[in-house]
Amino acid sequence: MTSYGMVIDLNRCTGCRSCMTACKVENNTTQGNFWMYTFRFEEGEFPNTRVWFMPRPCMHCQNAACVKVCPVGARYKREDGLTATDWDRCIGCRYCEVACPYGVNCFNWKDPNKNHYLDWNDPELLAETGGGLPYANPDLKEEYGDENRRIAGGGHHKGVIEKCTFCVHRVEDGLQPACADVCPTRVIHFGDFDDKNSEVSKLLKNNPNFRLLEEMGTEPNVHYIGGQPPTSKTRQIEEVKARV
């Protein structure tokens, strides 16, 4: 068995948000949709202030609230631990979004072609690129898994939900997710928890660790080391105000 997951080392995180950007480029997510989000936190009062950072991918919970509530089975668990979203099946009821305690789901409120930052159909650009998003990643529209379902978030269909896929298209290719790959200080470690010799298993074994909102019983596959979970006293600074 495989059980993919992440170990995120808060000690090393500089909050640079490279992971967020790499995710956006790799998955061509539209404006306002952040599958990966890095919190920038502040605690305490001057001069006893603390500033720290926390990347927040989808937790790919083993006991995922979103999967339970999905009325049509568009959101499902794979044997390898990934929580997948079939963007061909989703009916856009957004039940997964209200059910998820981590706020990782992104709905396509708008036609993605009208929501990709710049006018990619500018005539002179058209002559160069033939139109459409120039850096469109071809892997995203493929089918993945034995079930052959389109879960790599290539759709960005209007009226469909989407979220972090752990870059399933890269993982099935033997690569790690874009966020883990790009991280300047190697904060994000991706691997198989069922493999006792994997980097992530070792990190987990050798470090005190926690999972977000453990009390929700969602059994996240994303573990944190080198820090403490945010409390009600933790203030977010420089928050990204996602807009469509």
Partner 1 sequence: MRVSRKDFLKLSATSAGVLTVGSLLSGGMKTLVPFEKGKVKLGEKFVPTTCWIGKQDCGLIARVVNGRLVSFQGHPDHPRNKGALCPKGVAQIQSIYDPNRVKTPLKRTNKKGIPGTWEQISWDEALNTVADRVKDVLERDPRLFVWQKGRSKAKDFYDDAFVKSTGATKLHHGAFCSDAGYRALEYTIGMHGVLHPDMRHTKYLLSWGWNITNAGGNKFCWLTWPQQLVEAKERGMKVAAIDPRLRGPAHFADDWLAIKPGTDLALALAICNLLIEKDSIDHEYLRKYTNSPFLIGDDGMFLRADPEEGEEEGKPLVLDQATGLLVPFDTEGMTPVLDGKTSVSGGAKTAFRLFKESLSGSSAEWAGDICGIHASQIEQVVNDLAANAMIGSTIQIDGKMLPYRPVAIMAYHMSQQELGFQALRAMLFVSMLLGSVGAVGGQFSDFTWKEYKNWSKFADISVKEGPYNIYLSGSKFFPINSNNSSLVAKVINNPEQYEVDYIPEVFLLHHVNPLGSFPDREENIKAYEKIKFVAAIDPWLSLTADLFADIVLPAATIEKYEGPMSATDQYVDATAMRIPPIEPLFQSRGEIDIYLDLCERIGVLYGEGGYLDIVNNELKLRDTDFALPLNVKPTPREIFDKYSKLNGLEGIEFFETEGVQLKGPVSSSKYYPYAMETPFGGILPHRLYGESLLVAQHRMMEMGADEIYYRDYTAFPTWRDLTVESSPPEYDLLLMSTHMIEFKQSRTPIPMMIEMVPNQVVEMNPKDAKAKRIADGDEVIVESIHAITGETRQVKSIAAYRENIRPGVICMPHHFGEYVKHPWVKGTGPSPNSLYFTGEGYVTNTADQTYLVKVKVTKAIGGK
Partner 2 sequence: MRKIVTILMVIFGFALQAVSFFYLAAPIGAITSEASSNPRIPFAPVFFIIGVGSVFLAAVVFELLPDKDVQ
Partner 3 sequence: MTTYTKKLPYGVWDFTRGWVFLAIALLALIALGIYAYSIQLIEGEVVTGMRNLGTMGGATWGLYISFLIYFIGLSFTGISIAAMIRLLGLEKIKPIARMAEALTVIALILGALVVIVDLGQPARALVNLFRYARPGSPFFGTFTLVIAGYLFASQVYLYLDGRRDAAILAKIPGKLQGFFRIWSAGYKDTPAEQERHHQTSFWLAIAIVPLLITAHSTLGFVFGLQVGRPGWFSSLQAPEFVALAGVSGIGFLIIIAAILRKVLNTEEILDIDVFKWLSDFLMVLIVVYLYFLVVEWLTITYTAQSHELIIANAMYTGDYAWAYWLTVAALVIPLLLLGWQFIFKRYQMAWIVISGFLVNVAAIVKRYLIVVPSQTHGKLLPYEIGSYTPTWIEYSVVLGLFALGTLLYISFIKIFPIMEVIEIVEGGE
Which of the choices partner 2, partner 3, partner 1, none does residue 218 contact, using the CB cut-off of 5 to 8 A by kind? partner 3
Give every CB contact of residue 78 below 8 A, 6+ residues apart in sequence: 84, 145
For the record, the structure tokens of 36 come out as 């990966």
Does residue 237 belong to the site contacting partner 1 (CB under 8 A)?
A: yes
| Single-letter residue type at 207 | N
Which of the choices partner 2, partner 3, partner 1, none does residue 107 contact, using the CB cut-off of 5 to 8 A by kind? partner 3
Write down the least CB distance from residue 73 to partner 2, Å.
3
Does residue 75 belong to the site contacting partner 1 (CB under 8 A)?
A: no
Nearer to partner 3, 157 or 202 (CB): 157
Give every CB contact of residue 131 below 8 A, 6+ residues apart in sequence: 120, 121
d(CA 9, CA 60) in angstroms, rounded, equals 18
- The footprint of partner 3 (CB under 8 A) covers 32-34, 37, 39, 41, 56, 65, 68-74, 89-95, 97-111, 157-161, 212-213, 216-218, 230, 232, 234-236, 239-244
Which of the choices partner 1, partner 2, partner 3, none does residue 77 contact, using the CB cut-off of 5 to 8 A by kind? partner 2
DSSP-derived secondary structure letter, 123: H
Binding residue for partner 1, selected from 2, 69, 93, 120, defined by CB under 8 A: 120
Nearer to partner 1, 79 or 173 (CB): 173
Does residue 175 belong to the site contacting partner 1 (CB under 8 A)?
A: yes
Does residue 238 belong to the site contacting partner 1 (CB under 8 A)?
A: yes
- The footprint of partner 2 (CB under 8 A) covers 63-64, 67-68, 70, 73-79, 84, 86, 145-147, 149
Which of the choices partner 1, partner 2, partner 3, none does residue 84 contact, using the CB cut-off of 5 to 8 A by kind? partner 2
